[in-house]
Structure 1
Amino acid sequence: MSLDYEEKSEFHDEKTLDEKAQAETLELSEEGAAENSRIEAVRLVVPITDDVTLVAVTFRFWTISFLFAMIGAVVQQYYFYRAAAGSFSIFFVNLASYGIGKAMARVLPTASFTIGGYSMSLNPGPFNIKEHALIGIAAGTAASAAYAIDILSATDIYLDYRINALGSLLLIITTQCVGYGMAGVLRRYLVYPAEMVWWGNLVQVVFYNAMHHTGEFSSKKMVRGWSYMKFFWVVCGGMFLWEFLPQWLAPILMYFDWFCWISPFNYNFWAIASSMSSGGGFLSISFDWTSIGGGTLYYPLSAQLCSYFGQILNYWILLPIMWLTNALGTKTIGRPLTSRLFYENGTSFDIKTVLLDDFSVNNTAYDNGPQANMSPLYAIGFMTSFIALAGCVSHIFFFHGTEIWNTWKQAIGNDHEDIHTKMMKVYPEVPQLWYAIFYVIMAALSVLVCEVYKLQLPWWALLLALLIGWVLTLPICAMTAITGFGPGLNVITELVCGYMLPGKPIANMVFKCYGYMAMYQCMNLLGDLKLGHYMKIPPRAMFVAQFWGTLIGGVFNYITMILIIDSQRDVFNGNKEDPSGLWTGQRVETYWGSGLIYGALGPARMFALDGKYGFVYLGFLIGFIVPGIQWLLSKKYPTIQWSKFNISILAGGMGMFPNGYVNGITGGLITCVVFQYYLFKYHKNWWKKYVMILAAALDTGAAFTGLVIFLFLGGGISSTMNVNVPSWWANHYTEDGTNAPYAGVNRCGAYGGKWESGKP
């Protein structure tokens, strides 16, 4: 490989240039092999080799990562407003970037160019696995719907207030980047230890090595003698074709609510069994893979079972009981699952009638008028959020506190390190100063955004939001790294701000965004750093790639948001029904609803201890106490794995709505039991050989279908390319744009509020 020294020294330590480090591959000795990762799944799939001569930051990286970061940001923002909880598959990026990278390696000249003293070759040699993985990391960082989009969408849709482009972009970029400094400090605790697995990375490790035919992946054969990649393409192609049915031609397969077909026009059956928008989805089955996801094949079984048990408890047991008994007025509101506010008689609450010109609440007008009420199940969702957060902190303290303490001791001199951490020492770390400077710059820009634009949030409140993120990030990210599941900070941040700045809904949304995103983005960055750890990518290259992807993603998130809101505004604000059931403003509505509850009206008013919803604060007590009881029981009955029951994950499952729909419970539960219990326990060799590449293929095929539909059938490229499927039994709609006589394509519920039976 022909490389200039300047290109190498940017991300490699000088000690990599000696003869020993220039060896083609770093192999573990027999003694090193014996100390392979303590985590079985990691031992099974992550190679313990490294080629230190490979360079990741190349001209190909910059060009290819920009292309897919742009596409990923657009597609993910598109899914943000869609009913199907799809995503832009990183495996699609891996496939496409592999082909483009190999082609560029064949046709580009080897000439070099220099920018500011930094020299780079247009074609440094064969397209390698490290630059390939780094492209995926940059694109994956961009492929998200920035949380600040919730603020911009809510103010635009519900308050007719659109922040200008500069202010919007600064809000997006700063909220996305404040987690960088935190990731730099916490990486030694949440990346280096073997116990911090970050499960979603394992499938990517297998996929990259299979594509580049490294080590054992070059010789392993699958069913019928196929190679890894042939197996991938066959499965991916099959899923790609299948997904046109639930995602486009036959959305009834996405919401296959067979139970309510027993009595489709019965009000009670609709509320309990419909999964399309507001029902509990009792025994509903979704044949859409995006509702199930590849993570069900490899995430820890105990964590998945806790999550699904929580979902079943809330939506299949508690919801029917509350609906049929009209507990707390559940049936009076008319929709069991909704984040909207209502008056006592069940009509929608209009916040505009009590807002002042600066969007703060006129308390006198509100107190003298009818009061706002929320769906009881939505209130329970707040309680489960408190359980999840308190349970996370308590569970980590009782069951993993010793491990974290030992990790801290290792970080200050103990040499008992994970083998992958030892192998990464050949590369120079990112100085803490880089992260510190970056954090200070982003915090300063955040203050600027809040002060210049009408966001209602004073500078001191913003700093408090960032502080909350610092305090709670360690336990939340630790649980996510260990189990694959973790709570968010969105509810606790809006609660704090609600008491601190009552009557200011925009301030509450902004406070929540900065407090939550400080943790969430830090978590994403740490997960990517772990992937770089497994792939042996130099840390400084990782730093560059992550910021590059974040910057591109923010810009194209904003552009996509503007285009979609302008075309679907009436659907999002409730003035028009979407006959296909595929466009939804549910996520924005949820964010705005929380802003009203905590910001405009305030928790002191909505969650008064002597009021209707005062029970939500019991969540903190439950979350703190349950793990302590489990820990005590583990001391008395040590043969039982008490830590496997995680109250935080269970509560997170209970609070799945309104963050997602409830149509994937049955399929996901069946899938995880088959793959993570039966196959992993009784056919471990099969699991090791097939599961990761199978998950990658299924996710890629489903995501690629969504991309094709968006670009070529849903008007993504041009509105003239918006193709409507003719009405038929699996995609029924009427010419007037309604879906009469049904409420939705799932055939569950009467249209226009007319019921044959069960009407309250």
Structure 2
Amino acid sequence: VLFNGKTILKQFRSSLKNTNEDIHAKLMSYYSEAPEWWYTILFVFAFVVAALVCHFGELMPWYFLFLAVASAFLFLLPTGIVLVVTNQGIGLNVITEFIAGVAIPGDPLANVTLKTYGYITQAQALTLISDLKLGHYMKIPPRAMFITQLVGTIIAGIINYATADYLMTTIPNICTERNLRWTCPNANTFYSASIIWGAIGPVKMFGKGSTYSSLLYAFLIGALLPIPVWFLLRKFPNTTWLKHVHFPIMLSATAMMPPAPPGNYPSWLFIGFFFNFVLVRYAHSWWKRYAYVFSAAMDCGVAICGLVIFFALQNNDIEFPSWWGTGGDTGDGCPLSHANYSGILPSSRPIVSG
């Protein structure tokens, strides 16, 4: 509101006038627009299916879907602005977990379900908007974009389910401590969150008199931190570095800490600093021309490498040598990561000396 309130209001008023002054909008006006009722029918159909799944699958009371969708809708605009400005998405996982823990206490399955329908709805909505924006710039017909997105989502859902089922049935001890190559950190974080926010609940975990009650002040601190920066920018508008102080991004960077292995953050920091500071300053022409393509190439390379490693090596019981670059003997580079407060390791996860 403070930083982008005027822009939001201006764009909202402009959208009501339906002007096509932008060159991209003028060119896209030659195509038939995807009608609103297409999206409406798709939303109603998806909502009804979700309600049936929640009810007959006994996941959670179906009417809590209204709460999940409302949460996604409420935070779509502010998180979308952050994504547009910084290219960093902020998820609603903690907020939806908190809401679910208060609304449906003591039920971890319902907590996970409401979290999924709230958090994933917002994330997928932003992804859809990003794809539609790309299609707008590439002059792809809106109706073709709609159909492509719908078909792609259906295909992706089937492939994801088939892949997960294949992995769960073919890899021994997957997602357990006995298989250090398939530890499933995101899934374990999802499970841990369901216990903290669902089984225990935020009232017991963070309520008055609890050990972690003071952590609730983080919500207030996070809401107030941008205000001093806004005042400083108004007082010192020519101070360049102040324009780059973005507390939502700074704080959201910690969101991946629970599942991320220790080596991820230094790698992200080094690559980000090198490409977005060193190259921008000393090789700007190269950065401007190749940085985006190079980033996409690295993403594709990791994905292809993962497939090759699994099907050509791990699927044939061929393992990489154990060294610090692959997590060492414990798989994550932290020999004591599973130790208790006294430093005692579980018998299923010993430290193997080289």
Equivalent residues in 2 for 1:337-416 (5 A)?
397-413=1-17, 415=19
Q: Structure 2 residue aligned with 1:599, among 193, 198, 203?
A: 198
Tell me the distance in 2 between the aligned counterparts of 1:431 and 1:700.
Answer: 34
Q: Structure 1 residue aligned with 2:175, among 560, 572, 576?
A: 572
1:751 Cα shift?
11
Equivalent residues in 2 for 1:533-548 (5 A)?
533-548=136-151
* Aligned residue in 2 for 1:649: 249
Tell me the distance in 2 between the aligned counterparts of 1:714 and 1:461.
Answer: 43
With over 3 angstroms needed to count, the CA separation of the structure-2 counterparts of 1:526 and 1:630, relative to structure 1, is: same
* Contact 1:572–1:585 under 8 Å retained in 2: yes
* Contact 1:606–1:613 under 8 Å retained in 2: yes
* Aligned residue in 1 for 2:54: 450
Tell me the distance in 2 between the aligned counterparts of 1:553 and 1:410.
Answer: 36
Task: State the number of aligned residues.
Answer: 343
Q: Rg larger in 1 or in 2?
A: 1
* Contact 1:731–1:745 under 8 Å retained in 2: no
With over 3 angstroms needed to count, the CA separation of the structure-2 counterparts of 1:532 and 1:512, relative to structure 1, is: same
Question: Residue type of the partner of 1:582?
Answer: R
* Aligned residue in 1 for 2:348: none
With over 3 angstroms needed to count, the CA separation of the structure-2 counterparts of 1:531 and 1:659, relative to structure 1, is: farther
Tell me the distance in 2 between the aligned counterparts of 1:731 and 1:623.
Answer: 36
Moved more, 619-628 or 691-700: 691-700
* Aligned residue in 2 for 1:419: 23
1:545 Cα shift?
0.5
Cα-to-partner distance string for 1:378-414 (whole Å, 9 max, x where unaligned) = xxxxxxxxxxxxxxxxxxx111111111111111227
2:170 maps to 1:554: no
Cα-to-partner distance string for 1:88-129 (whole Å, 9 max, x where unaligned) = xxxxxxxxxxxxxxxxxxxxxxxxxxxxxxxxxxxxxxxxxx
Identity of aligned residues (%): 35
1:666 Cα shift?
2.8
2:111 maps to 1:508: yes
2:126 maps to 1:523: yes
Tell me the distance in 1 between the aligned counterparts of 2:250 and 2:115.
Answer: 23
RMSD over aligned CA atoms reads: 2.8
Question: Residue type of the partner of 1:588?
Answer: A
1:568 Cα shift?
4.0
Cα-to-partner distance string for 1:147-167 (whole Å, 9 max, x where unaligned) = xxxxxxxxxxxxxxxxxxxxx
Cα-to-partner distance string for 1:484-542 (whole Å, 9 max, x where unaligned) = 11311111111111111111111111011001111011011111111111211111100
SS at match of 2:3: helix
Tell me the distance in 2 between the aligned counterparts of 1:745 and 1:486.
Answer: 26
- TM-score between both structures, scaled by the size of structure 1: 0.42
- TM-score between both structures, scaled by the size of structure 2: 0.87
Higher relative contact order structure (alpha carbons within 8 Å, sequence separation ≥ 6): 1
Q: Structure 2 residue aligned with 1:624, among 208, 223, 228?
A: 223
Cα-to-partner distance string for 1:5-45 (whole Å, 9 max, x where unaligned) = xxxxxxxxxxxxxxxxxxxxxxxxxxxxxxxxxxxxxxxxx
* Aligned residue in 2 for 1:439: 43
1:625 Cα shift?
0.8
* Aligned residue in 1 for 2:335: 749
1:422 Cα shift?
3.0
Tell me the distance in 2 between the aligned counterparts of 1:751 and 1:662.
Answer: 10
* Contact 1:743–1:752 under 8 Å retained in 2: no
Higher helix share: 2
* Aligned residue in 2 for 1:724: 318
Tell me the distance in 2 between the aligned counterparts of 1:696 and 1:448.
Answer: 39
Equivalent residues in 2 for 1:262-273 (5 A)?
none
Cα-to-partner distance string for 1:568-593 (whole Å, 9 max, x where unaligned) = 4634244xx22xx3211322221111
1:745 Cα shift?
7.3
* Contact 2:96–2:115 under 8 Å retained in 1: yes
* Contact 2:175–2:184 under 8 Å retained in 1: yes
Question: Residue type of the partner of 1:634?
Answer: L
With over 3 angstroms needed to count, the CA separation of the structure-2 counterparts of 1:725 and 1:595, relative to structure 1, is: closer
* Aligned residue in 1 for 2:294: 694
Equivalent residues in 2 for 1:729-744 (5 A)?
742-744=329-331
Structure 1: tracts of 5 or more residues without a match: 1-396, 716-721, 734-738
* Aligned residue in 1 for 2:350: none
Tell me the distance in 1 between the aligned counterparts of 2:325 and 2:273.
Answer: 32
* Contact 1:410–1:417 under 8 Å retained in 2: no
2:67 maps to 1:464: yes
With over 3 angstroms needed to count, the CA separation of the structure-2 counterparts of 1:702 and 1:572, relative to structure 1, is: closer
Tell me the distance in 1 between the aligned counterparts of 2:2 and 2:41.
Answer: 35
With over 3 angstroms needed to count, the CA separation of the structure-2 counterparts of 1:540 and 1:659, relative to structure 1, is: farther
Structure 2: tracts of 5 or more residues without a match: 346-354
Equivalent residues in 2 for 1:638-677 (5 A)?
638-641=237-240, 642-677=242-277
Tell me the distance in 2 between the aligned counterparts of 1:619 and 1:724.
Answer: 47
* Aligned residue in 2 for 1:680: 280
Equivalent residues in 2 for 1:214-253 (5 A)?
none
With over 3 angstroms needed to count, the CA separation of the structure-2 counterparts of 1:543 and 1:729, relative to structure 1, is: closer
With over 3 angstroms needed to count, the CA separation of the structure-2 counterparts of 1:408 and 1:732, relative to structure 1, is: closer
